[in-house]
Amino acid sequence: MIYLDHAATTPMHPEVWDAMSPYGSTVFGNSSGVHEVSRQAKNALEEARERVAGMLGARPMEIVFTSGGTESDNLALKGAAWSPRDRSGVVAVATEHEAILETVDVLRRFGGPTVIVEVDNEGFVDSDAIVGAIDPSTAVVSVMLVNNETGLIQDVGAIAKAVKESDSDVYVHTDAVQGFASEEIDVNALNVDMMTITAHKFGGPKGTGLLYVREGTVLEPVLHGGGQELGRRSGTHDVAGVVGLARAMELAVANRERFRSQVGEIRDDFERRLIAGVDDVMLNTPHFGRSSHHLNIRIPGVRNETLLMRLDQRGVAASAGSACQSGAAKVSHVLEATGLTPDQARESVRFSFGWTSTMDDAVEAADIIVELVEKLR
């Protein structure tokens, strides 16, 4: 299999598995307990928290471990909107992940004021438009750092600055799930109050993520129970998962520059081969302000569903967009937000690269795609 769907999930790095393995058998205690078996688990948990915080420019107490990106996004928005503060409004961008947009829809149905801000035809959002959507009821603004379908990079730091200058009581959240492998991420440089990260997008385990919550940010918990994570997220800790998250983050940080260079070179060569071999191919990914590992293209006259099925038969894995739609054959809201018609969106395919990608695989995949497009047309 030639795997070109790293934006959906990535293979776990062997060093991550090695780091996790003792915490399912040897060190198995409940980290909330008081005896020695639990203290061992607690020590591992808090050591991982310190390492994670250091990589983000945060304090350990500002890290909330969760089950992944979806939960972190829900906690950020619902927690801010339902907090004791006298604000319940949410502002989000039209190209956000479903975990954000569906949460916004739930909050709207519960009676909260919500605004979805549109983007330009490349997917960039104007900070003035976001500021213009803010009113005295706004609790939180959410802007994705790297888009999961196109790889577009929003200037979250500049947007957060504009929001804070407009109303310092509005929280700013960013979903940085797709950006951690390739982008320098520091919560203070981004000037955000909350940030979502999940491990399985950069060689870590599924089911483990975090929400950075700046000190002083008031959130209502979404999960209630034993009061873990300073009361912000109840539930028994997955210590193995947290240890794996920390190790995956360390590997991503250590290899980030090489990742951008090598994976970017592979993606760019793949892109050039498709442009040279497929007539009229269109890029949905912007030329500038994009990540090194995403490529979204439109092939006029070829339905993505058909092409993806043929690619799968030839051993190439790609996707039509987000992997978080439960297999639903729906048109990409991201591409529609940038001005594509439903038919054009159905001609679009996402290829995404990661730490296991090789140039040989990309060359072979490009040749297969060129061959299949010619036959399908």
- Cα-Cα-Cα-Cα dihedral sign, residues 258, 264, 266, 269: negative
The active-site residue, picked from 12, 134, 324, 368, is 324
Question: β-pairing, 138-142 with 194-198?
Answer: unpaired
Report d(CA 104, CA 8) in Å as an integer.
22
Report d(CA 22, CA 37) in Å as an integer.
13
324 catalytically annotated: yes
Query: So which residues are the catalytic ones?
Result: 324
